[in-house]
Amino acid sequence: MDKVDTNAFLIAAPKSNSGKTMITLGLMQALVNRGLKVQPFKCGPDYIDPMHHTKIAGQPSYNLDMWMTDEDHVQRIFAQHAAKANVSIAEGVMGLFDGAQKDVGSSAAVARLLDLPVILVVDASSTAYSVAPLLYGFKNFDKSINLAGVIFNKVASESHFQFLKEAAIDAGVHVLGYMPRDQRLAIESRHLGLHLPGENQNREIVNVAAELLENHVDIDLLLEITQKEIQPLTNQNIDTKKQFKIALAHDEAFNFSYQANRDVLAELGEVVEFSPLNDEELPEADLLWLPGGYPELFAEQLGNNDKMKQAIAEYIESGKALIAECGGMMYLGKNIITKEGETYSMTGVFDFDTSFENMKLHLGYRDLKGKDISIKGHEFHYSNLIGEEKASADYQAKTARGRDVEMPIFRRKNCWASYMHLYLGKREKMLQMIKELGL
């Protein structure tokens, strides 16, 4: 199969909170406005940024994570979807070289693996010509990384930009333009990241960002320096027989799902979405999946839906398979206690409460091993568990650096629940998990 001519690049930054996400969303919108088909990707384990990508691009955003999976999988995911688009944009994670260990699994590692030009976003709010050595260092530290250009963020004026432009030229880096300071671009943070798509006039904010980037960034030059040939994948011989009926919770409370997981589920079975918030009955299913989300924000509504809570409890007691990740696990406890101290009853399958009082961050990659299972994922939450429920002794979780970490796995018949967001984007990993559930 002939290679496809397209555009592809990775947006990175020297550090977190430089404005990667706003620049990424604005560029996606600007390119969509030009009539181009944009394929989004996200480096790392994040599940919120891809939701924003998908809303803007109209294409599912895929994670490119070299720690939770392997290089071959990342290459295949990228090639499969980038070959169908005019422009592929991968949003980086943290600083360009920040990985699980040194730069392992970092944005730089992804750019190196996929031969993606890097567009660096630099927060220029408190600097001017001093960005020259910064840019020089990022350009020359690792010659295998193609630092194709820079976009400056939070620029005070055209005069300020001239200092920055001279610095970039002296550092040998293409100057693509800048995003000016603008009060309209403020997006409030929530404890797990950006607000979800559709909240707080996010679309209007993204439209503002797109307009500013069209006016202050040379998007034509950006496309000129990010041209890329991509080899489309040959079709794999996959058994397309639908083996299972799968019910996937998806609503405002439960919506953190890796797209690669969804794709594999769709290969293995007939997937039907349902809403624990709004529905009163479960779809017929061999496997029920409760992903993460923000159940604490909808605790009262979830607590009032007695028919759904009873249906899920009865489903588990019948011995059928269920996976609950983070927010899904909270829903299976007795109560959710909000940070204000309000208590709302959940399904009561497990003997614990989830409390947001005295919140503490639990964050990091997780490598989970059991007798017949080895899977990876990500833990990111602020809540704590209170209660008598005993965790399974059959599993041991480790961090990306191989240290033991407490992350309880709860089992009830063929129900499996934990704080872990599972990455099961490879078919063999999903089948391993399904076997663990008795299917």
Catalytic residue numbers, as ranges: 326
Between helices 202-216 and 20-33, what is the axis angle to 10°?
80
Write the secondary structure of the chain as one string of H (helix), E (strand) and C (coil).
CCCEEEEEEEEECCCCCCCHHHHHHHHHHHHHHCCCCEEEEEECCCCCHHHHHHHHHCCCCEEECCCCCCHHHHHHHHHHHHCCCCEEEEECCCCCCCCCCCCCCCHHHHHHHHCCCEEEEEECCCCCCCHHHHHHHHHHCCCCCCEEEEEEEEECCHHHHHHHHHHHHHHCCCEEEEEECCHHHCCCEECCEECCCCCCCHHHHHHHHHHHHHHHECHHHHHHHCEEEECCCCCCCCCCCCCEEEEEECCCCEEECCHHHHHHHHHHEEEEEECCCCCCCCCCCCEEEECEECHHHHHHHHHHCHHHHHHHHHHHHCCCEEEEECHHHHHCCCEEECCCCCEEECCCCCCEEEECCCCCCEEEEEEEECCCCEEEEEEEECCEEEECCCCCCCCEEECCCCCEECCCEEEECCEEEECCEEECCCHHHHHHHHHHCCC
